[in-house]
Amino acid sequence: MELYLAQPRGFCAGVVRAIEIVELALEVYKPPIYVYHEIVHNAHVVADLKKQGAVFVESLADVPAGSVVIFSAHGVSGAIVAQAEQRQLDVIDATCPLVTKVHLQGKRYSAQGYAVIIVGHIEHEEVIGTMGSIAGEVHVVSTPEEVAELTVSDPGKVAYVTQTTLSLDDTRDIIAALKTRFPDIIGPGLNDICYATQNRQNAVRDMAREVDLVLVVGAQNSSNSNRLKDVAEQSGVKAYLIQDAGEIRNEWLTSVSRIGITAGASAPEALVQGVVDRLRDSGVVAVHMMNGVTESTVFRLPRELLEAGMIATSGRPSIE
């Protein structure tokens, strides 16, 4: 068997920034540091940060008044921001800047009197946060069928934004349905799908043409990892989403000679290497790196945290 590694794969700039924020906060403020929700959707990352002294909570009521609390990369609603203020928590916001951009866009549309339609999955933390950041009329759709069932107060005054980690193809279909249903609708096109999501989907699509099986390393609750599996399957290849090498089943490997591996934006490279080692033990004789784009995007850490840690910002590349 031969292995093919998608390029790019794994950590994106938003995930790197979120993890760095927790690690730096632990260093500067000392444990315990509270984190609202999983900082990124990966159990291995969360377990590692827990060992360093991070305490993950699902409710701000579990954070002692006056403590440091970090909001996860997925972003939070206005109600959570208000609750943190009311409890006098010292907030560090690890929301990915690309998610914040969607929040701001949604708020702008809403302030201009538009009903805002979020294209995304209603149960996903990012969408919950985006929905809760918009004060006016807001709806969520995840399929063209749901577009057909929508009821809005003024069909002539409708705007949309999209979750950052959707499949480009699915999003295109939903936006087409929205434009048919509401000819005057305004929105950013596919621009809200983030660069990391786009690059990883393009890479897995290219790789899927070359292989018999695709393994996506990522968490079951990771939206972008699930979409990578969908994209591989839409290319006609069997694909599995695995948290780590321990989930690989020997029966998947019978009658395959070329296996492709990719990883979601919140999956550490060490997990990919664990999968490579596991497959070498099962008879893989060669590992190839696919060609693909090289990413250089880096997001700045929050200024207050850098200042608190007395770390000069000058050495760090700026936002792309």
Interacting residues with ligand SF4 (CB under 6 A): 12-15, 73, 96, 98-99, 164-165, 194, 196-197, 224, 265
Shortest approach of ligand SF4 to residue 305 CB, angstroms? 17
Residue 163, both tokens: 């979750």
C-beta of 131 vs 196, nearer to ligand SF4: 196
C-beta of 13 vs 271, nearer to ligand SF4: 13
Residues that are catalytic: 126
Shortest approach of ligand SF4 to residue 311 CB, angstroms? 22
C-beta of 213 vs 305, nearer to ligand SF4: 305
Q: Longest Cα pair distance anywhere in the chain, in angstroms?
A: 61
Three-state secondary structure of the chain: CEEEECCCCCCCHHHHHHHHHHHHHHHHHCCCEEEECCCCCCHHHHHHHHHHCEEEECCHHHCCCCCEEEECCCCCCHHHHHHHHHCCCEEEECCCHHHHHHHHHHHHHHHCCCEEEEECCCCCHHHHHHHCCCCCCEEEECCHHHHHHCCCCCCCCEEEEECCCCCHHHHHHHHHHHHHHCCCCECCCCCCCCHHHHHHHHHHHHHHCCCCEEEEECCCCCHHHHHHHHHHHHCCCEEEEECCHHHCCHHHHCCCCEEEEEECCCCCHHHHHHHHHHHHHCCCCEEEECCCCCCCCCCCCCHHHHHHCCCCCCCCCCCC
Shortest approach of ligand SF4 to residue 21 CB, angstroms? 12
Shortest approach of ligand SF4 to residue 157 CB, angstroms? 28
Shortest approach of ligand SF4 to residue 17 CB, angstroms? 8
Shortest approach of ligand SF4 to residue 182 CB, angstroms? 26
Residue 237, both tokens: 């290849």
C-beta of 15 vs 208, nearer to ligand SF4: 15
Look up residue 55 and give its DSSP letter: E
C-beta of 41 vs 245, nearer to ligand SF4: 41
Q: How far apart are CA 268 and CA 292, in angstroms?
A: 19
Q: Which residue is nearest to ligand SF4 (CB)?
A: 14
C-beta of 110 vs 164, nearer to ligand SF4: 164
| Selection from 103, 96, 46, 44 nearest residue 73 by Cα | 96
Shortest approach of ligand SF4 to residue 219 CB, angstroms? 13
Q: Are 165 and 118 in contact (CB under 8 A)?
A: no
C-beta of 220 vs 282, nearer to ligand SF4: 220
